[in-house]
Amino acid sequence: MKPIRLTALLADIDSGAVTPQASIAAAREAIDASDEALGAFVRLAPETSLAAALAATGPLRGVPFGVKDIFDTADMATEYGSPLYAGHRPWADAALVAMARRQGATILGKTATTEFAHMRPAATRNPHDLAHTPGGSSSGSAAAVAAGMVAGAFGSQTAGSVIRPAAFCGVAGYKPSFRLLPTVGMKTYAWSLDTAGLFAVGVADVALLTALLTGRNLAVAAVPLGSLRIGLYRSAVDAALTPEMREALATAARLLESAGAVLTDLAEPAALAEAREAQRVVQDFEGALALGHEHRTHRDGLSPALGAALDAGAATTPDAYDAARRRARHGRKAATALFDTVDALLVPSALGAAPRSLETTGDPVMNRLWTLTGNPCVNVPGLTTAAGMPLGVTIVTRFGRDREALAIAAHLEALLDNSPIAKATGPV
């Protein structure tokens, strides 16, 4: 199925070319046709919920939507990707789910997540090649958007769980500034890191979706870059990038420069390299507390990887956690200082394309830092390997400058769409 561009769908609904009923019927047909092989959804909404959504008013009426199964839903089970919560029915919707319903979105179902949004892969496959991972932990949401089942979906990121699956599946992923979107009713893993995010086909789509959900002035067009200053961020972990990802970054940089942006190389400050390592300590310590009941009473029901992570967190002393938090605070100050000389950063969304494996969700190392610092990040789709697998690059801006991140990312996406070199970035 062709992916559903939100901007085009809403224009068609507004003009009467497509009815909300026809839009939802087409999305349900796409799920029926493809999801047995893809595994993006773990359960579908009851007919009563679909009927109520189509009877509602709001700017998102007729928009098919997916919700990652760590967000509570009152009309469907919420199992957090764990058999420990089989059949669990929350009493109320999560705040974001309630916001989507209020704006008229039709929530078609719950999308697959890894176990408690950690690293154990869900059953979802990559729509571009079923032998490849779609990423994690928001695997189902990214895959459902890429496969044309929904126009938008909720995800979350504690390390790299919005940006990485968006990159692997070739869609736009938006991790807002920390706490711009509410996490009330979302299963907590690490409270100082957990960030709710969104997926849509393109950057303008995800920007419009966020604007309509929140009422914020975030909708963007691909505006001219003028003399914007773009920092090419050179991190301490860049040595692990694949050759294709290096070429993808170079391609994006050349296109930005050709459009008038001023590019500057930025070496990673020591405080930010240290902050990246601190993210792991913070995540494990807080995870062991947030999942303390599950860890203590159902240790045998957890996957080995999650059990080991919670063991490590439980063994971390408060002093070590506090030291990591201090490194995080220094890192946030250093991240803010980066934007004294540039307007945005261009960074890799992942080490490369999605691994050809269903036993891994990929490495979040390229995302950990920006989750810790809380900066807004947008995965820009449009680059591919020579074999046709998506590659993603990320635009990062100063904390709170989400509209700038989305606008610059939209312009870069437009440049990529019009560039033949973006479609085969592998070494020649």
Contacts of 283 by beta carbon, 8 Å cutoff, 6+ apart: 158, 159, 189, 190, 193, 313
161 is catalytic: yes
- Of 137, 156, 235, 349, which one is the catalytic site residue? 137
Between the alpha carbon of residue 326 and those of residues 281, 282, 322, the distances in Å are 12, 11, 6
Between the alpha carbon of residue 237 and those of residues 14, 56, 224, 272, 323, the distances in Å are 47, 48, 32, 11, 22
> What burial class does residue 153 get, using C-beta atoms within 10 Å of its C-beta: 0-12 exposed, 13-18 middle, 19+ buried?
buried
Rounded Cα–Cα distance for residues 127 and 388 (Å): 12
Residue type present at position 105: A
Between the alpha carbon of residue 144 and those of residues 138, 376, 398, 408, the distances in Å are 10, 23, 30, 25
- Of 161, 177, 235, 349, which one is the catalytic site residue? 161
Residue type present at position 213: L
Cβ atoms of 133 and 358 closer than 8 Å: yes
Rounded Cα–Cα distance for residues 366 and 347 (Å): 8
Structure-token pair, residue 71: 């967000």
82 is catalytic: no
Q: List beta partners, residue 71.
A: 186
68 is catalytic: yes
- DSSP element (H, E) containing 297: helix 292-297
Place of tokens 């590019």: 263
Q: Is 39 left (phi over 0), alpha (psi -120 to 50) or beta?
A: left
- Of 68, 110, 175, 187, which one is the catalytic site residue? 68
Cβ atoms of 288 and 116 closer than 8 Å: no
Rounded Cα–Cα distance for residues 370 and 157 (Å): 10
Rounded Cα–Cα distance for residues 163 and 153 (Å): 13
Percentage helix, strand, coil for the chain under 3-state DSSP, each rounded to 5: 45, 15, 40
Rounded Cα–Cα distance for residues 351 and 364 (Å): 8
Q: How many CA atoms lie within 13 A of 6 on its CB side?
A: 32
Catalytic residues: 68, 137, 161
